[in-house]
Structure 1
Amino acid sequence: MRRPISPDGPSRYLREADRLHIADRLIEKASIRQIAAELGRSPSTISREIRRNGVPVRAGSSQWVYRPHAAQSRAEARRPRPKTGKIGQNPELRDFIQRHLEQRWSPEQICQVLRARFPDRPEMHVTHETIYQALYVQGRGELRRELTSALRTGRARRRPHRQAHKRQPRFTAPMVMISDRPAEAADRAVPGHWEGDCIVGAGHRSAIGTLVERTTRFTMLVHLPNGHRAEHFHQALTATISQLPPHLRRSLTWDQGNEMAGHQLFSTAVNMPVYFCNPASPWQRGSNENTNGLLRQYFPKGTDLSLHSREHLDTVAAELNSRPRKTLGWETPAERLSKLLATTRK
């Protein structure tokens, strides 16, 4: 007997209709787990609601009853904002924090010392985020605002992070995004569209470039003996792609890694446009991500990748290209590419 979902959609908090349902089902002797399943909630949520908002039948009675309208009123009374935070409720804690901020301690240092100095007093324990909230959130008034000048940054307000519309351009040359890539690349109908990335070694000090052709899943590896800084990477990538015939250089899709800062020079040198994925969107290079996982069998994480020679990289790539793939009807990438090249020559 699942209760119909409210037309207002799911809610983080229990509504009055939820509490009426709980009361009705308790009268019917339903279990906590049954009620939780009917409401699409955790059993602990229902148990806590009954425990917090159940009331004695009469004063001094050991029997209790759950009254939904009274429970709703109590929940609403507890909810008003803003509430005084932990620091504002404890003058001793507030003074301790302010005193050490004036001594230019960081919030994280203060939190660690509080736990060490008052191990048996949880009311004196806070996280560094709580201190930042008390400093920066308007209307809290728990710590003096001028104490922000003692922080490492000295900022009087918090700087937001990871806002796409305020993100600085990654490269000097403008990027062309994957949304502008030709439709023929997306449907894998035409060969010559590649995905690329780097797998990095221990401490990000070494790397191997990886290239995967989208239609055939054919793999090429870029040897980076001089490291993967942009100037070295541009030269190595250009040399690798130049081995391909012109009709297999239709496009290259890459993430926004620093190694591609020279993308415009590369594109001009090999006559091949470069498209960039959106930030934190590895699925936009799905074939390449899958291949990178296969390559980790040969080049484990945390190892020095500069130890591998050009010849060894060619051997690994040839081994991958000779594996039958389910997505290719159990043909190998090498076989599929060879067929395409033969068709093109006719």
Structure 2
Amino acid sequence: MDHQIRGDRRPQGRKKLTAERAAYFQLMQQGYSNKEACRIVGINPRTGKVWRNGRRAHKGLSKARPPVHREPSSAGPGRYLRESERIHIADRLREKASIRTIAAELGRSPSTISREIRRNGMPLRGNASRWAYRPHAAQSRADARRPRPKPGKLGQNPELRDFVQRHLERRWSPEQICHALRARFPDRPEMHVVHETIYQALYVQGRGELRRELTRALRTGRAMRRPHRQSAKRQPRMAKDMVMISERPPEVSDRAVPGHWEGDLIIGKAHKSAIGTLVERSTRFVALVHLPDGRQPAQMRDALIQAVSALPTQLKRSLTWDQGSEMHLHKEFSSATDMPVYFCDPGSPWQRGSNENTNGLLRQYFPKGTDLARYSRQELDTVAAELNSRPRKTLGWETPAERLAKLLATAS
């Protein structure tokens, strides 16, 4: 690269960065990302994006700027195949050369050559069983495919868009919707999308493929993506005569036998109200514990006994909880229900992974900062029934209710 990277990175005003621009496009052709190429050349990443994609006119800003026209470099392999390389591929294919041989001659990966032939080849006219690769037609196809932004699949198919929006309103996740589409329309590929397509239609501004307010139906309710952060460790809390999770029978860990439950609380506004959550480990079946008067140990004991008493005998095997003080009377609960209680290690929520995941789902119905005491027993049963009727990826897209019914039928 002939460009001398400038050491002084201070703003230079309205200066034409001719050398920097040429170096930037050369780095992009070599496969560098926009951020890395801009760092090497010494420009703002936004400048690189404007050079490549142009800029639309906005109020208060300068007028629209078209993308910078650039000729492809002929020195060395660039990021994309050039027409001369496609001609070489066609010539060598006629000579019966292998994919790996062609790739070695061009300095490319064999998968690049294979993908190019598969994408831009065409069946012979009059004989669809034979395949031909025509370099100039392949170049035209590649040029037509490259411009951005592209129209989204949801924006072009009203039937697909309506299906996605209806199920988002029912609080289905994008991944659940994608698998439902493949099950409902197995022979219609135009009705198939991946979940990332739905997320981008919701998060990327300006696409207009899905209504913006549908982001409130997602698990997080966020209107934009956020990076994952390390969660704060919980401080140890007291529970007398605890039996730790390390002493739990092996049959609990492999989820083969139903009847082992994980439990926790979701806390309401100002930590003054709560709802108990119970999740069966093998089926992910959810039961909600009504706590209208608080979560003191005696109230927690009585509410859990009432919730567990309604279960069949084969579903009352064990309960795993965190080290919360609300379970101080766990011995009395075990005596009344014949269900041993096992406690997780401090700051180890993954030891109750199914329950933690379910608590996240429940926050769609009971957002943080809500007074949870105002919900009736009937409302909690309605929420639990809706969760138990949702297909789950971990169950092979069966619902928890369906999986529980199968297990009970087998046991009987």
TM-score (norm 2): 0.43
Q: Structure 2 matches for 1:243-262, cutoff 5 A?
A: 243-262=310-329
Q: Structure 2 matches for 1:311-330, cutoff 5 A?
A: 311-330=378-397
- Give the Cα–Cα distance (whole angstroms) in 1 for the partners of residues 325 and 395 of structure 2: 33
Aligned mate of 1:290, from 339, 354, 357: 357
Unaligned runs of 5+ in 2: 1-232
- Give the Cα–Cα distance (whole angstroms) in 1 for the partners of residues 362 and 397 of structure 2: 20
Aligned mate of 1:170, from 238, 256, 261: 238
Aligned mate of 2:377, from 295, 305, 310: 310
Q: Which amino acid aligns with 1:179?
A: S
Q: Tell me, what secondary structure is at the counterpart of 1:327?
A: helix
Give the conservation status (yes or no) of the 8 Å contact 2:259–2:316.
yes
Aligned mate of 1:185, from 245, 252, 258: 252
- Give the Cα–Cα distance (whole angstroms) in 2 for the partners of residues 276 and 198 of structure 1: 14
Q: Structure 2 matches for 1:224-303, cutoff 5 A?
A: 224-303=291-370
Q: Which amino acid aligns with 1:253?
A: T
- Give the Cα–Cα distance (whole angstroms) in 1 for the partners of residues 309 and 337 of structure 2: 6
Q: Structure 2 matches for 1:201-212, cutoff 5 A?
A: 201-212=268-279
- Give the Cα–Cα distance (whole angstroms) in 2 for the partners of residues 265 and 237 of structure 1: 11
Q: Structure 2 matches for 1:34-73, cutoff 5 A?
A: none
Unaligned runs of 5+ in 1: 1-161
Q: Report how many aligned residue pairs link the two structures.
A: 179
Q: Tell me, what secondary structure is at the counterpart of 1:301?
A: coil
- Give the Cα–Cα distance (whole angstroms) in 1 for the partners of residues 257 and 380 of structure 2: 27
- Give the Cα–Cα distance (whole angstroms) in 2 for the partners of residues 225 and 187 of structure 1: 35
Q: Structure 2 matches for 1:128-167, cutoff 5 A?
A: none
Aligned mate of 1:219, from 266, 286, 289: 286
- The percentage of counterpart residues that share the same residue type is 69
- Give the Cα–Cα distance (whole angstroms) in 2 for the partners of residues 175 and 313 of structure 1: 29
Please state how far the C-alpha of 1:247 moved relative to its aligned partner: 1.3
Q: Deviations over 1:307-330 (max 9, x none)?
A: 100000000000000000111011
Give the conservation status (yes or no) of the 8 Å contact 2:258–2:315.
yes
- Give the Cα–Cα distance (whole angstroms) in 1 for the partners of residues 291 and 329 of structure 2: 15
Give the equivalent residue in structure 2 for 1:195. Answer: 262
Please state how far the C-alpha of 1:333 moved relative to its aligned partner: 0.1
Please state how far the C-alpha of 1:233 moved relative to its aligned partner: 0.8
Please state how far the C-alpha of 1:193 moved relative to its aligned partner: 0.5
Q: Tell me, what secondary structure is at the counterpart of 2:282?
A: coil
Q: Tell me, what secondary structure is at the counterpart of 1:220?
A: strand
Please state how far the C-alpha of 1:171 moved relative to its aligned partner: 2.9
Give the conservation status (yes or no) of the 8 Å contact 2:239–2:324.
no
- Give the Cα–Cα distance (whole angstroms) in 2 for the partners of residues 328 and 279 of structure 1: 29
- Give the Cα–Cα distance (whole angstroms) in 2 for the partners of residues 273 and 221 of structure 1: 19
Please state how far the C-alpha of 1:289 moved relative to its aligned partner: 0.1
Q: Tell me, what secondary structure is at the counterpart of 1:210?
A: strand
Please state how far the C-alpha of 1:245 moved relative to its aligned partner: 1.2
